[in-house]
Amino acid sequence: MHAGTSGLRRSRASNSLIAMQTMHPELWAVHFPDVLRAVMGSILSEADLAVAARFFVYPKGLGAWELLSKVEKLRVCNFVRNAPVPMLEDLDDFFDLPNTHEIYKSALARIRAASFDELKAVAWSLFVPDEVFKEILKFYERSESFAVANEMGKYIRGQLGDVLGLKGFLDSIIQIAAKNDQVKFSSELVNLLRAFASDKSIGLDYVGSEVSNHKLTVDGL
């Protein structure tokens, strides 16, 4: 869904609709709701519904979501909440919505229902959404062996370059290590903390200070 050509086509289509709305507001107000419902009624495949779901909320100026009936909104939300694994990467668009929006809530529910392997397999388009990274950390928190803690810690370390707001997540990592001995004594923890320290906004001194504040000792840090 994030392929360049399809994304460009969607962008052009959205821009054209906005132009039409601006140039002919009266005709738009009369006819667009009927056109929208006709389009919604013609959607049969999951791929088309995935594209339509984003169209209903972006661009926001079209107001398409507000024009859908409760039944139509429920159909879209149910699709997002039960999105197949290959379409998980498309959910990142919905995390830019207010957290009170129905589609945001549905996307969050789908991510929370995903397994670690499902989330691990997703190639996010630009950045790993905060909502997704928080769920990954929940799996890390539940590590039941050194092997699992090392596997997840290594994966998390590889994702840090695509995560925003690292300093806030550092505290989560340290709290997890303080509570879970499998994480605390895993060989990967020091590498993970050093990866946080390599970020210019954090640094090794800050990481060391935070570790000490939680009364942890990490060899090699």
Cα gap 129→91, rounded to integer Å: 9
pLDDT at 44: 78
What pLDDT is stored for residue 169 in this prediction?
Answer: 95
Q: For the segment 131-180, what is each residue's pLDDT rounded down to a tens digit?
A: 999 999 999 999 999 999 999 999 999 999 999 889 989 999 999 999 99
* Token representation of residue 9: 């086509």
Q: Which residues of the chain register pLDDT less than 50? A: 1-8
Domain boundaries, the chain: 1-120, 127-221
Do 163 and 129 touch, CB atoms closer than 8 A? no
The pTM of this model reads: 0.82
DSSP conformation class of 82: T
In this prediction, residue 68 carries a pLDDT of 87
Cα separation, 137 vs 178, whole angstroms: 14
* pLDDT value, residue 8: 44
**Closest to 162 (Cα-Cα) out of 185, 142, 133:** 133
Closest CA to 154 of 183, 129, 122, 189: 189
